[in-house]
Chain A
Amino acid sequence: MALAEGVLQLIEDAAHQQEFKKVTTVWLEIGQLSGVEIEAMSFCFDAVTRDSIAAGARLEIIALPGSGWCMACSETVPMTELFGECPQCGGYQLQVTGGTEMRVKELEVA
């Protein structure tokens, strides 16, 4: 998957700037509404990093909950899917406010 390549690129850039040669753990923040499948990401991460500085690194996923602003209820409500309904009023007038993140948070390096 393409996103795993993006993760590796950010790691390689950091390695270049901060002069480390081995990555042992990678923390990713992945929003529930980002469309990223954790299993696919883990699988691809292993494949993409096989011959890289991050070969064998542990992948830690921090899942961030989805949330949206419901116009009808005038409040922030939890969301579990991108085009889902408001859990309070059942309406679809929801604007996503959180949960679409795809970020490399930090690395443990040696």
Chain B
Amino acid sequence: MLRVEKLNFAYDDLKVLWDVDLEVNEGEIVTVVGANGAGKSTTLKNISRLVKPSSGKITFDGKDLGKMQPHHVVEAGIVQVPEGRRIFPEMSVMENLRMGSYVKATRADRQKNIDWVFELFPRLKEREKQLGGTMSGGEQQMLAIARGLMANPKVLLLDEPSLGLSPLLVKSIFDIITGINQQGVTILLVEQNVYQSLRISHRAYVMETGRVVLTGKGEELLNNDHIKKAFLGM
């Protein structure tokens, strides 16, 4: 469904992605794991067209994203919840959610989606009127995911959703991701929490210094020696 082929990218002179190949099939949870600076977020930024690749091809349902503006990508159904939450600090929870369904085609479902995300995250409903910038880190993360869901994503790109959350909340975030996936949303997850994310994913990729070095099924990789050494401290 989403396919990244031989993606190369450089920030000015600093080359950070080398021939990255990724594929996400409909209905899957696919995880990208890797150390800090491996190029995971940069890969997602290329998919969302926030930055333009130096070479390579990204297609979605066969359509080339190469000529699209970032807002076209969202309209096509690829929605990213970025690293660091990036909610609108001076807008209320409700306004943030409304922005999630800014795309015209999704506005008809706005109320339905608000009900849905309030069911997923009851905390947000309690804080409907609070300004995004004054929420706690965990609440902001819930809001960021909820805002992404407002856009009726076909594929949801999640960049380190568990970062900075308490262990209890981490667990529930992963449960929620699984739940969202079961409702038919395909997921491309970037995570540092290798154990939890591999456990819930169908397939995974391992990135190191800008390259994909390993790929396989979620459970397979959990038992992989390299992964155990590099990420799980075993």
Q: Do A and B actually bind?
A: no
Interface of B toward A, CB cutoff 8 Å:
none
